[in-house]
Copies of this chain bind each other. A is one copy, B any other.
């Protein structure tokens, strides 16, 4: 389980993928999905570049971390590459997700997610308020928190999206961890703590907005893309 800090290359499979690369993979995936949907068979790194905003060199380099998928002089077979990316990211089968908090935010996220994403599957929402209990939001049932461990076990839930008010978010995090969830996606403007082994991503709107404002207040010409 625990591995010491200073072992640079002890992953036998492949040599330690940079974080920045991982963040770009889903973007490639979605782009390829669109291409496949439009019956594109072959795509070059340049075309991917135009569609993703990353440079062609970077795309080729990123893919190079995982193997060789293209054919020189031609490009990449879109569908094949898409499937490789699915395997790389770990989405060969739909990832089961729960949403905690069925208020406005939870509802909005459910809709976005269920509608748009073929790779994750929201299996249930949880809330404490009796008002929403038992309701269905786009096919997803709102359950009492007491049933969380059972649901997590049954569907092998990997990730939880926390859409609860700041006051309750740490309690919610503790709850989902206790239920066996490994990945937490927190939308409350409070940083959630979790034990080692649990991945927490704090998506704080106001934090990100403020860093954007920094750029906006200095009028220098930055790129319009991907600040």
Contact = CB atoms under 8 A, between A and B. Distances in A.
A119 B209 CA distance: 10
Q: What is the copy number of this chain in the assembly?
A: 2
B213 A95 contact: yes
A191 interface: yes
B26 A205 contact: no
A43 interface: no
Given A112-B189, A199-B224, A221-B196, A207 B105 contact: no
Interface string A97-112: 1000001110111011
B166 A210 contact: no
Given A116-B206, A221-B1, A213 B89 contact: yes
B191 A53 contact: yes
B116 A189 contact: yes
B221 A2 contact: yes
A187 to B, nearest CB: 8
A57 interface: no
A157 to B, nearest CB: 11
A25 B90 CA distance: 33
Given A201-B212, A207-B30, A103 B97 contact: no
Given A117-B189, A216-B158, A199 B222 contact: yes
A115 to B, nearest CB: 9
Contacts of A27: 207
A interface bracket (residues with beta carbon within 8 Å of B): 35 or more
A145 interface: no
Nearest to A17: B214
Interface in A208-227: 208-218, 220-227
A218 B1 CA distance: 11
A111 to B, nearest CB: 7
13 contacts: A26-B210, A30-B207, A90-B214, A90-B217, A103-B108, A107-B108, A108-B108, A120-B213, A197-B224, A199-B224, A200-B224, A200-B225, A200-B226
